[in-house]
Amino acid sequence: MRKIVILFSLAIGMVLPTSILAQSNALADVNNSCGYEVFADCSGCHYGDISPTYEQTLYLTEGACAFCPEVASCSSTPPTEAELLADARSTTNDYFETLFKNFMKSMRETGMMNPDGSINNPNIFAEVFPRCPELGPIIASDFSRSTGYLVRRVTKQTRNSRNTPDDWELEQLNKFEDMAADGDARTQFNITKPDGTILPTKEFESFALVTEGKGRDTKSYFRYMRSITMPGMPNEPPFLPCLKCHGTLDQLGLGVADAVQAEYPHDLAMGYKKGDIRGAWTIKIPLDVKLRGH
């Protein structure tokens, strides 16, 4: 294997701490792209989260190929917006399906639901508290750690305050509500249910390349959101029980109002009707992490 030496030197006189993980990932990316081994002093690119260097900016815009001595042999390029969108959609599906699976598993483990999906306890939705509302954030945290993205759900009417939207997310939620009121066309997303059947959801989505922060703290992200629309009652397609915990008082399951008040005294997540925008799935992809192959 050929060995090429490249020095990414700093044009300053002081040496600052480096990120070993970032160096190893970036150097592996360069080596894989060039097709031969490159020895590099990575301090010019990676010296902490203070401000982007020229080399960091070049890496983010041009990819690993920018550092190959023989660019003609390089095949690595930064992801396109279409590729980022596909990744965000796939991650959202995976999160939805994992949450769905764990919600059903939770109810079965408590003895409230039979293996065939029938309910054997009239207080099932009241007794599942506080286990149910905590599932989403826990699973979101697992996805965030495994992907390097920020994965979660958000809503304007929270039950768990961790689901409070930021400014960009709030703007998209307002847009989704306007689109729903106007009857705008939706995109179909097929979700695999725990029993293996397909749930053909139709939702709104929004995505953008967003720059956040100021000066040396500026960072770029690909942001994606998909609406969560409230289905009808459990006895009508798609046969989901959401309104039993989030509907109007006459729709709530037996004891749910009291259970919610006991666990979430500041709850805002009831009173929904079929077709309302309950909230959204949201994915935030740091572009520097994505470009380094995470």
Report, as an integer, the average pLDDT of 40-60: 64
pLDDT of residue 77 exceeding 80: no
The pair of three-digit structure tokens given for residue 16, joined into one six-digit string: 């600052």
**102-153 residue pLDDT tens:** 888 877 776 555 555 566 666 778 877 767 778 888 999 999 988 889 999 9
Q: What is the 3-state secondary structure (H, E, C) of the chain?
A: CCEEEEECCCCCCCCCCCCHHHHHHHHHHHHHHHCCEEEEEHHHCCCCCCCCCHHHHHHHHHCHHHHCCCHHHCCCCCCCHHHHHHHHHHHHHHHHHHHHHHHHHHHHHCCCECCCCCECCCCHHHHCCCHHHHHHHHHHHHHHHHHCCEEEEECCCCCCHHHCCCHHHHHHHHHHHHHHHHCCCCEEEEEECCCCCEEEEEECEEEEEEEECCHHHCEEEEEEEEEEECCCCCCCCCCCCCHHHHECCCCCCCCHHHHHHHHCCCCCCCCECCCCEEEEEEEEEEHHHHHCCC
Instruction: Report percent pLDDT > 70 for the chain.
Output: 75
Q: What pLDDT does 12 receive?
A: 30
Query: Could you give the CA distance from residue 43 to residue 22 in angstroms, rounded to a whole number?
Result: 10
What mean pLDDT, rounded, does the chain reach? Answer: 81
Angle at 211 between CA 143 and CA 219, to 5 degrees: 65
This model's pTM is above 0.85: no
| Per-residue CA distances from 280 to 142, 234, 276 (Å) | 18, 21, 12
pLDDT class of 172 with cuts at 50, 70, 90: very high
Q: What pLDDT does 2 receive?
A: 42
**234-250 residue pLDDT tens:** 888 888 889 999 999 99
**Of the listed ranges 47-61, 77-91, 97-111, the one predicted with least confidence:** 47-61
**Of the listed ranges 10-14, 39-43, 130-134, the one predicted with least confidence:** 10-14
Q: Where are the domains of the chain?
A: 3-73, 81-291
Neighbours of 137 (CB within 10 A): 14
Sheet order of strands, 277-286 included? 150-154, 277-286, 219-229, 205-212
Query: Could you give the CA distance from residue 128 to residue 103 in angstroms, rounded to a whole number?
Result: 10
pLDDT of residue 207 exceeding 80: yes
Which has more confidence, 11 or 271? 271
Q: What pLDDT does 79 receive?
A: 79
